[in-house]
Structure 1
Amino acid sequence: MFESAELGHKIKKSLYEQEVPTLREDLLNTQTELAKSARFPVIILIGGLDGAGRGATVNLLNEWMDPRHIQTHAMGEPSDEELDRPMMWRFWRALPPKGKIGLFLGSWYTWPILNRVNGVTKEADLEQSMERAKRLEKMLVDEGALVIKFWLHLSKEQQEKRLKSLEKNPLTRWKVTDRDWKRHKAYDKFQEVHENVIRHTSTAEAPWLIVEGADAHYRNLTIGKVILKAIQDRLEQDKTPPPKVLAPPLMPSIDNLHLLKTLDMTQAIDKDKFKLKLEKYQGKLNSLTRDPKFKYLSVIGVFEGNDAAGKGGSIRRITGALDARFYQVIPIAAPTEEERAQPYLWRFWRHLPRKGRVTIFDRSWYGRVLVERVEGFCAEADWMRAYSEINDFEAQMVRHNLLVVKFWLAITKDEQLRRFEDRQKTGFKSFKITEEDWRNREKWEQYEHAVCDMVDRTSTMLAPWTLVEANDKNFARLKVLKTLCEQIEAKLEALREEGVDYLDKPKKHR
C-alpha cells in the first residue's frame, strides 16, 4: 500500500518556486469563493508518521491561505473535560461551519491507532473504532461536507534520517523527543496498524491520499494541488442540482396494528395519592444523584410528545428534585443560522454533560424524523438515514456511561383539543398555544405514523423508549419520575458490579 510513497519523488527547487505563486493565488481565490458561497464545509485531516512533515504542512497551508477562513485544530492528549465525554465530542465541537476549512492535525484515528500499537486495546477495539470513523465521515459527507484525508509517509530509513537531521541542528533539536525515537523503534508495528486502518477506512466518500513526505517540495505541491482541485470540483458540482435520491420505503403495517393505539389512555391517579408518590420519587431521585458513584455517570433525559402533552410539567417535577448546580434543561426550537451551518447532530453533541451531571432535552434530535419528516423540511433520504445516525449517536453516549432515558408523552386527539382551548381561554397559558400548534394538529395521523416508525427503529436495548400515557398529567409525571429513578438505580448498580478499580481508573478513549 505504501510502495508508491517510497519511489523517491522529488521536485526541483526552481520548478517549485515557479509553481508556488500561481498555486497560492488559485487557492486564495477558491477559498474566497467557498467563503462567499457558504454552501459546504471542508474538513482536511493531516495524518502520518513522525518526521513526515505533518506540522510543517499545517503551517504552510495556513501561510498559503486566508487565516480568517481556516480553523486549525491540533488534537493532542485529551483534556479532563474531553475525557468526561464520548471521544467524538471534541471533534464535533471543532467542525467548521459551511464556507470554512477545518484543518485537523490529529483526528479521530489518532488515539485508536496509538492505543492499538501500545497494546492498550485489542484488534476488535480498533475495528470498532474504524467503523465509528467510517460512519462519522459518511454522515459528514451526507450532510454536505467535503472530507479530504492525507497520510504522510516515510520509510523507516527516511524517518531515522529525518530525526537525526533535526536533532543535529541546534535550531530544530527541540522538535525531536524521546517519544519520537520510541515510536521509531516501533516503526514496523505502526506500519502494520497504519496499513490496516487506511485499507479499511479509505472509502468512496472519504478516501485516503498517501503522500511521500521525504521531499518537502513534492509534498507541498501535491497537497496544495489536491486541495485546490477538490474544492474547485465541488464548487462546480454544486452549481448543478443533484439528482433526487430515492430512499427505500419503511415496512408498511399489514395487520393494522398501531403502537400508540395499544396504550391505555384512561390511566389516572387521584390528587392525594399523587402528592404522596411525588414526594417519594422526588426524594429517591435526589438521593440517587447524591450517590458517591453518580460522579461516574451522566444522565440524558429526552422528552418528546404530542403538542400540549405535558412535557414541561414532567420536566419541572424532575428538576424540582435536583441540585440546580448539576442539571441543565435544553429547549430545542428551530435551528439558528449558526446551527444550520453545521451537520444536523452538531447542536446536540455540543450540549452533552460532564460526569455527575443531568441534561434534559425538551424536544431533541428526533425532530428530524418527526417535524422535519412530516413538514417536508428535509429530503426523504435525509430523515431515512437519520434513524441509523441517531442510534449510533446514542450508542456512543451509552458506551461512555451516559444513561439515555427517552420519553414519548402521548395524549388523545380529543384531550389535545381540550388543552388547546383551555390555553386560549387562560391568560397565563395563552403563550403556550400558537398557530403552528393548530397546523400540526391538522396532520395528526401523519405525526402518529412518524412516531410509530421512530419508536420501531430507535427503541434499542441501549436506549429504549418509554411510552407515557399522558391524558392524566399526574399519572404521566409519576411514571416519568419512577422510570428515571429505576434506570439510574440500575445503572449505578451495574457500575458497582464492575468494581472499584473500574471506577477509579481513568480510561483512554477507544
Structure 2
Amino acid sequence: MLESVDLSLRMSKEEYKAQIDDLYIRIGELQRKAWKMNLPIVIVFEGWHASGMDSIINRCMLAFNPMGLRFHVIVKPTEEESKKPKFWRFWQKIPAYGKIAIFERSWYSRSIIESFDKKSRYTELGYYVKEISKFERQLTDDGYLLMKFFMHVSQEEQAKRLKLYEKKGIPISVVSEELDYENEYKRYFTLVDEMIDKTHSSHSPWTIVEAENLNYATIKTLSTILVTMESYINSRLKSNCSLPVSKSIADFIPSSNGLLNADLSLMIEDERYEREKDLYQKILGELQYELFREKRPLMVVFEGWDAAGKGGNIRRIAEKLDPRLYKVEPIGVPNDYEKSHHYLWRFYRRVPDAGHITIFDRSWYGRVLVERVENFCQEERWQQAYEEINEFEETLTDFGTIIVKFWLHIDKEEQLRRFQDRESIPEKQWKITPDDWRNREKWDDYLKALDEMLLKTDTKYAPWTVVESNDKRYSRIKTLSTLVGAIEKHLR
C-alpha cells in the first residue's frame, strides 16, 4: 500500500487558509451531535518519525471541544502494564460513549516493535494481526467509530527532517524510550506495510496521508475525519442507532449440555468433607506461591443459581490463601460510568497481575444471562457476546492466565428451601431480596440462556465445570479439587 502513494502532493498556504476554518466549525458541530447520540470515537495516528505527526495531531485536536476529548501517547509499557495482557492498557484508554480518544501511536507501533524484537514472547506478526482485528471489531460492534491514519513520508524526506531536528534541538520523542530512528525505514518498512494491509477492513479502514507537505496532510486528515463522522452519524440516525448482527452466530438449538443429567443427589459425609477440605486447601496454598514464582495469573469464575452457594465456595477457596496474592471481585449491577463503556471494559480493569489470583463472584457472563433474560441490552449485542467472551478469555490465556469457570447447579426445589431458610433466620435475611424471587419466576428463561451459554463458551482454554450443589459439602470439595487439578495441569 505504501509504495503506491504519491508523495508529491502539496497545498499552498492560501488554499489551506481557505479551508481550515470551515472544517473546524463543521467537525465541532459533528462532535456535539456524536455527544448527544452517545457515539464514541477513536482516532489512531501512526507514521514514521519526523513525518510531522505531532503538528498534524495538534491541528486536528483544535477542531474538537477539549471537554469531550482525551489524548494518549503510547510508548513502552510501564511496569504495571507489563504485568497484564498486552491489550489491557488499551482497554483502559477507550473513551466513554459520546467521548473521543486520540492516540499518538497505538497498538500498531507496539505490535510492530515487539514483532521485530526477538526478546518478545510474541514475535509473529500474525498473532498481533489476530489480536488487533478482534479488539477493533469488538469496539465497532459496540458502536465505536474507529479512524486510523498513517503519516507517510519518503526515506529521503525523513532523513532530511531528522538532520533538521537535530540541528534545531527539536526532540523527536518526548519520552525516555530509545528507538533507532535513522534505521527505522530499513528495519520496519516491510512489517508496517504488511500490518496496514492486513488490518485494513470495512469497519476500521486505514487512511494513508501524504505528509511531506504539512498543509496538505492536515486538510486531508481533517476532511477524512469530517466525511467519516458525517457518514457514520447519518447512518446511525437512519438505522435508529441499531447495531449490526454478527453473522457468525447461528440459531440456537437447546442441548441441555449435561445440566438435566447432573446428579444433584451427590453428597459427602462430614468426616470426609473436613479431611478433603483441609487437604485441598493446603495444596492450594502451596500452589498459590508456585503461581507467583512462575508469574502465572489465575482467574476463578463463579456463576450459578441464586442461593447455589457461591459465597461459601469462594470462602473455602480463600480460607488458607495469602491475602497479598489474591482478591475477590463481587460483580453487581454496573454503575453509570461502567455503563458508558463497552461491557468488557469493567472486567479488563479487574484482571489479575502476573502471579496473582482474582476470584469473580459473578462475571462477564451476566451479559448472556441476566442482561439477556431481563432485556437490559439489545439482542444483537448479547448474541455477539458469545464470540467476544471467547476472544476475551483466549487473549487472557495467551498471556498465560489460567481460567477456571464454575457453574453451581441446584434444582428449583432446593432453591426454594434455601430462600425460605434465609427469610426465616434473622442473620441470613440480608441474603434474600425481591430480585431473587423475581428471578426465580423466570427459571425456565434463565435455564435456556444458561444452556446456550455453556454450549457456546465451553472452550479448551477456558472450560466450564458444572458443580452439583444441592449438597453444599459436595459442591465445595468438587470446586476445590477441580481448581487444584486445573492449576497443577497448567503448571506441570
Task: Give how far 1:271 is off.
Answer: 2.0
Instruction: Give the Cα–Cα distance (whole angstroms) in 2 for the partners of residues 176 and 88 of structure 1.
Output: 23
Which residue identity lines up with residue 252 of structure 1 in the other structure? I
Q: How does 1:123-138 map to 2 (within 5 A)?
A: 125-138=124-137
Instruction: Give the Cα–Cα distance (whole angstroms) in 2 for the partners of residues 12 and 406 of structure 1.
Output: 62
Task: Give how far 1:31 is off.
Answer: 2.4
Residue of structure 2 in register with 1:232 after alignment: 230
- Decide which moves more: 366-375 or 341-350: 366-375
Deviation sequence 1:134-165 (CA, Å, 0-9, x none)? 11111101101000000111111221122122
Residue of structure 2 in register with 1:141 after alignment: 140
Task: Give how far 1:189 is off.
Answer: 4.5
Residue of structure 1 in register with 2:468 after alignment: 469
Task: Give how far 1:108 is off.
Answer: 1.4
Check the 8 A contact 1:293/1:492 in 2, yes or no: no
Overall identity of the aligned pairs, in %:
36
Residue of structure 2 in register with 1:211 after alignment: 209
Check the 8 A contact 1:288/1:294 in 2, yes or no: no
Which residue identity lines up with residue 214 of structure 1 in the other structure? E
Check the 8 A contact 1:166/1:176 in 2, yes or no: no
Q: How does 1:256-335 map to 2 (within 5 A)?
A: 258-291=257-290, 294=293, 296-335=295-334
Check the 8 A contact 2:76/2:177 in 1, yes or no: no
Distance 1:453 1:63, change over 3 A: same
Check the 8 A contact 2:7/2:153 in 1, yes or no: no
The counterpart of 1:223, out of the listed 221, 224, 242, is: 221
Task: Give how far 1:288 is off.
Answer: 1.5
Check the 8 A contact 1:301/1:361 in 2, yes or no: yes
Instruction: Give the Cα–Cα distance (whole angstroms) in 1 for the partners of residues 282 and 445 of structure 2.
Output: 39
Which residue identity lines up with residue 211 of structure 1 in the other structure? V
Distance 1:308 1:97, change over 3 A: same
Matched, 1:435 2:434: yes
Task: Give how far 1:4 is off.
Answer: 5.2
Distance 1:227 1:307, change over 3 A: same
Check the 8 A contact 1:150/1:211 in 2, yes or no: yes
* Structure 2 spans left out of the alignment, 5+ residues: none
Residue of structure 2 in register with 1:78 after alignment: 77
- Decide which moves more: 2-11 or 433-442: 2-11
Check the 8 A contact 2:141/2:243 in 1, yes or no: no
Task: Give how far 1:230 is off.
Answer: 2.2
RMSD: 2.4
Distance 1:212 1:243, change over 3 A: same
* SS across alignment from 2:413: helix
Distance 1:422 1:225, change over 3 A: same
Task: Give how far 1:227 is off.
Answer: 1.6
Instruction: Give the Cα–Cα distance (whole angstroms) in 2 for the partners of residues 61 and 397 of structure 1.
Output: 35
* SS across alignment from 1:261: coil
Q: How does 1:146-185 map to 2 (within 5 A)?
A: 146-170=145-169, 172=170, 182-185=180-183
Distance 1:335 1:179, change over 3 A: closer
Residue of structure 2 in register with 1:16 after alignment: 16
* SS across alignment from 1:419: helix
Deviation sequence 1:303-322 (CA, Å, 0-9, x none)? 00111100011111112121
- Decide which moves more: 22-31 or 422-431: 22-31
Instruction: Give the Cα–Cα distance (whole angstroms) in 1 for the partners of residues 22 and 264 of structure 2.
Output: 71
* Structure 1 spans left out of the alignment, 5+ residues: 494-510
* SS across alignment from 1:384: helix
Task: Give how far 1:216 is off.
Answer: 0.7
Deviation sequence 1:177-200 (CA, Å, 0-9, x none)? 999984443524522111211111
Which residue identity lines up with residue 422 of structure 1 in the other structure? D
Residue of structure 2 in register with 1:508 after alignment: none
Deviation sequence 1:423-456 (CA, Å, 0-9, x none)? 1111222222222222222222222222222112
* SS across alignment from 1:43: strand
Residue of structure 2 in register with 1:87 after alignment: 86
Distance 1:69 1:293, change over 3 A: closer
* SS across alignment from 1:6: coil
Distance 1:107 1:323, change over 3 A: same
- Decide which moves more: 433-442 or 412-421: 433-442
* SS across alignment from 1:291: helix
* SS across alignment from 1:325: coil
Instruction: Give the Cα–Cα distance (whole angstroms) in 1 for the partners of residues 177 and 268 of structure 2.
Output: 65
Instruction: Give the Cα–Cα distance (whole angstroms) in 1 for the partners of residues 107 and 27 of structure 2.
Output: 26
Instruction: Give the Cα–Cα distance (whole angstroms) in 2 for the partners of residues 282 and 20 of structure 1.
Output: 67
Instruction: Give the Cα–Cα distance (whole angstroms) in 2 for the partners of residues 175 and 438 of structure 1.
Output: 59
Distance 1:114 1:321, change over 3 A: same
Instruction: Give the Cα–Cα distance (whole angstroms) in 2 for the partners of residues 279 and 221 of structure 1.
Output: 69
How many residue pairs were aligned? 489
- Decide which moves more: 157-166 or 38-47: 157-166
Residue of structure 1 in register with 2:251 after alignment: 250
* SS across alignment from 2:75: coil
Q: How does 1:328-477 map to 2 (within 5 A)?
A: 328-477=327-476
Instruction: Give the Cα–Cα distance (whole angstroms) in 2 for the partners of residues 178 and 368 of structure 1.
Output: 41
- Decide which moves more: 144-153 or 264-273: 264-273
